[in-house]
Amino acid sequence: MSSGASGTQPSQIDTPWTVRGLIAGHRTAALLSGAALVVMVALIAVAMLAASGGAVTDATTCTQWGSSNVHQQHAYATLYVKEHGSVPKWGTAPAMVINAINAGCFQAYGEDVDDTTTVVQAISGDF
């Protein structure tokens, strides 16, 4: 015969963990995690708002051009055609002006002068 526990005793089943139970049991860790989450969300929000920047102008550098959004680039391309006329070899379509700036800025990146080259210089290739 066996001398172990009888089969008639009820077994102890652990209750499943809950988020509320974990937070209640580990208040300090929960507060630190919550604070870290708030800081991360704030940093992401600041980065997103700062990335939008201002309007693109003739003085915008290639580095700033790379950070501008599609709408800002299209608005500048339209303004460029109104103020300066067509881009040699590219034409007057805003998409072609954007392509000319991108090509010039790509060359400026290769020559490591993208921080000082403006979009107008990128179009003309004079940098």
**Residue 118 shares a structural domain with residue 72:** yes
Enter the pTM of the model: 0.59
**Other residues' Cβ atoms within 10 Å of the Cβ of residue 111:** 9
* Residues counted in the chain: 127
**Other residues' Cβ atoms within 10 Å of the Cβ of residue 54:** 9
Tell me what the pLDDT averaged over the chain comes to: 86
**Residue 99 shares a structural domain with residue 112:** yes
Domain span holding position 88: 54-124
- Convert the pLDDT of each residue in 19-41 to its tens digit: 888 888 899 988 999 999 999 99
Q: Is residue 8 part of a domain?
A: no
Q: What percent of the chain has pLDDT over 90?
A: 54
Higher pLDDT, 94 or 126: 94
CB 99 within 8 A of CB 90: yes
**Residue 95 shares a structural domain with residue 116:** yes
Give how many domains the chain has, as a whole number. 2
